[in-house]
Amino acid sequence: MKNLLLLFTLLISTIHVFAQNCIADFNFRFDDFNPAKVLFTNTSTGSNLIYRWDFDDSQTSTISSLNKTFKENGNYNVCLQIQNTSDTNCNSKICKIVSVQNINKCVASYYFERDSINPLKLRFHSNSIGDSLNFLWAFGDGTFSNQTNPEKIYSDSGNYNICLTVTRPSTNGSSKFCNDFVIGNFIKTFPTSFSYFINNPPTIEFYSVVYHPINRIKQIWDFGDSTIIENHKPLLRVFKQYKDAGKYNVCLKQNDTVDLAFNSSTCKIINVLPEWATNKCTAKFNIIQSANPLRALFNAFSNYTTNEAKFFWTFGDGDTSTLKNPFHQYKSNGTYTICLNVVNNDGSCQMSHCITEVFLDPNVGMNENIGENLFDIFPNPVDDKLTIKRLASFSDKVEIQLYDLNGKLINKSIPENNIDIIEMELIDLKTGFYILHFKGEEINFRKRIIVN
């Protein structure tokens, strides 16, 4: 059910008018259970502001933050204008396209709680999407219910396939959701799972699934950045922002506070991109090499704009740049230390960070390039297997060496002269550029390959 959130395409355009002393801005997200309902949150800067919302459907509002329910699917150009009546330099407006979809659809979904006393008794709760729904529960033992949130007492322990079917008569829509569950007092574990969505960066929304009595669950979220949240009442939805970009091991553990034999946990790796991080005061960066091995993009992680801070790059070859994300072309192979210094306008943030990187073009600085026409090397770029085909006979014993751009030897082989086709397995290599060196008494050349 939560995956429907991925269907909402967000296209954003911004207009700022006379924004010297205030800047209009807002975030929005769709309601978990009603695709027509959008939650608008004012994030404007300024003081003593008055607000005017225009939702592009003939409706307006003067409330700072609000919930809005749209009546039809479509793309709405939602605008927020702010003013300070006593400050003529405060007049700012921002518009964002909100794409509303699936208003007329219905989607079945449910969860249940196990009774704390009777292990055969369950309380079912529908969290289906849609209004004016009809419900049909099938409990997997030949019994049914048309209640919205029924209770069920099973006569025997066992594995049951429990289904909920919802229909929406006004649109002739229907949806069915089924799951297998073990019911009975012999259960000693229960599943734990969670999902996450990034609908409104930098906020990440985590959703947990609870298959156990909610009043007995102790839930522990570990977000991989030393942030831990413990709750004796499960948090079905958690909002999280990360300060720095990177990969985080997020874990959810759920314990039964009554029967300690019941526990479960699961972990997922979350890759937080630089544009999702909230930390502006950082000089960390990454290097994105282009098809030219001596040219690269240097990408600063800081969320400061060039109007808020100064960026100063040194590339280790005497060249510098004041762009936030510059390209740089090296003139020769070598090992270079690249440094970025970030200083914001008020001087409260002053950070530096350096990385040492090897830049190597096999065609630069070579005195010999003999024998390249004797081999066909394909495909290039390559996924997992590189083929080297001998195009002519020769007596020279050739060693084939594979290097990464740091000069590390990855693989080498000396094929017999009667072998015309050589296959090199590259399945375990990371994506990037590598160098093939063909070296013999008479043959000596290098070839750059790209691994996808």
Q: Is residue 420 part of a domain?
A: yes
Give the end of a domain, one of 276, 302, 320.
276
Question: 14 and 92 share a domain?
Answer: yes
> For the domain that residue 346 is a member of, what is the CATH number?
2.60.40.10
Q: What is the pLDDT of residue 215?
A: 62
**Predicted pLDDT at 3:** 39
Specify whether 91 is located in the same domain as 163. Answer: no
How far apart (Å, rounded) are the C-alpha atoms in residues 270 and 252?
A: 13
Cα–Cα dist 326/311, whole Å = 10
Cα distances from 260 to residues 117, 198, 408, in angstroms, run 15, 34, 51
* Higher local confidence (pLDDT), 219 or 323: 323
Q: Is 94 within a domain?
A: yes
Main-chain dihedrals φ then ψ at residue 135, nearest 5 degrees? -120, 140
Confidence of residue 188 (pLDDT cuts 50, 70, 90): low
Structural domain tally of the chain? 5
Whether 188 maps to a domain, the answer reads: no
My answer on whether 22 and 70 are in the same domain is yes
Is the same domain home to 179 and 122?
A: yes
Q: Cα separation of 356 and 316, whole Å? A: 9
Residue 227, pLDDT score: 87
Where is the domain boundary, 333, 359, 385? 359
CATH number at residue 432: 2.60.40.3080
Q: Give the pLDDT confidence of 226-246 residue by residue, as tens digits.
A: 888 887 666 677 888 888 778
Residues 6 or more apart in contact with residue 42 via CB below 8 angstroms: 25, 26, 51, 64, 65, 80
**Measured distance CA(287)–CA(325) in Å, rounded:** 10
Q: Of 77-86, 130-139, 157-166, 261-270, give the lowest mean pLDDT range.
A: 261-270
For residue 315, what pLDDT band results from cuts at 50, 70 and 90? very high
Specify whether 18 is located in the same domain as 92: yes
12 and 80 in a single domain? The answer is: yes
At 139, the amino acid letter reads: F
CB 20 within 8 A of CB 84: no
| Together in a domain, 124 and 156 | yes
Residue 426: what pLDDT? Answer: 81
> For residue 263, is pLDDT > 80?
no
Whether 91 is covered by a domain: the verdict is: yes
Can you give the pLDDT at residue 367?
Answer: 46
- Do 47 and 71 fall within a single domain? yes
**Strands 246-256, 237-240: pairing kind:** unpaired
Q: How many CB atoms lie within 10 A of CB 389?
A: 13
Position 78 scores a pLDDT of: 94
Render pLDDT for 18-77 as a digit per residue (tens, 0 to 9). 334 688 889 898 876 677 789 898 888 888 889 999 999 989 999 888 888 888 888 899
Confidence check: pLDDT of 217 > 60: yes
Domain residues for the domain of 169 are 110-183
Mean local confidence (pLDDT), 10-24: 50
334 belongs to a structural domain: yes
Residue 364 in any domain: the answer is no
Note whether 6 and 94 are same-domain residues.
yes
Last residue of a domain, one of 122, 156, 183: 183
Average pLDDT over residues 274-294: 77
Same-domain check for residues 85 and 12? yes
Looking at this protein, which amino acid is placed at residue 224?
A: G
- Residue whose tokens read 């091995």: 293
Predicted local confidence at residue 373, as pLDDT: 81
140 plus 201 within the same structural domain? no
Write out pLDDT tens, residues 341-373: 999 888 888 889 898 887 776 655 544 567 778
The three-state (H, E, C) secondary structure of the chain, written as one string: CHHHHHHCCEEEECCCCCECCCECCEEEEECCCCCCEEEEEECCECCCCEEEEECCCCCEECCCCEEEECCCCEEEEEEEEEEECCEEEEEEEEEEEEEECCCCCCECCEEEEECCCCCCEEEEEECCECCCCEEEEECCCCCEECCCCCEEECCCCEEEEEEEEEEECCCCEEEEEEEEEEECCCCCCCCEEEEEEEEECCEEEEEEEECCCHHHEEEEEECCCCCEEEECCCCCEEEECCCCCEEEEEEEEEEECCCCCCEEEEEEEEEECHHHCCCCCCCCEEEEECCCCCEEEEEECCCCCCCCEEEEEECCCCCEECCCCCEEECCCCEEEEEEEEEEECCCCCEEEEEEEEEECCCCCCCCCCECHHHEEEECCCECCEEEEEECCCCCCCCEEEEEECCCCEEEEECCCCCCCEEEEECCCCCCEEEEEEEECCCCEEEEEEEEC
259 inside domain:
yes
pLDDT > 60? residue 10: no
Mean pLDDT of all residues in 392-403? 82
Q: Which of 67-76, 311-320, 418-427 has the highest mean pLDDT?
A: 311-320
Contact 198, 206 (CB under 8 A): no
State the pLDDT confidence band at 436, using cuts at 50, 70 and 90.
confident
pLDDT averaged over every residue in the chain:
80
The beta-carbon contacts of 259-262 under 8 Å, at least 24 apart in sequence, are: 259/216, 261/188, 262/187, 262/188, 262/189, 262/190, 262/212, 262/216
CB 324 within 8 A of CB 343: no
Residue 252, number of CB atoms within 10 A of its CB = 24
Q: Quick one: 212 and 271 in the same domain?
A: yes
Q: Is residue 365 part of a domain?
A: no
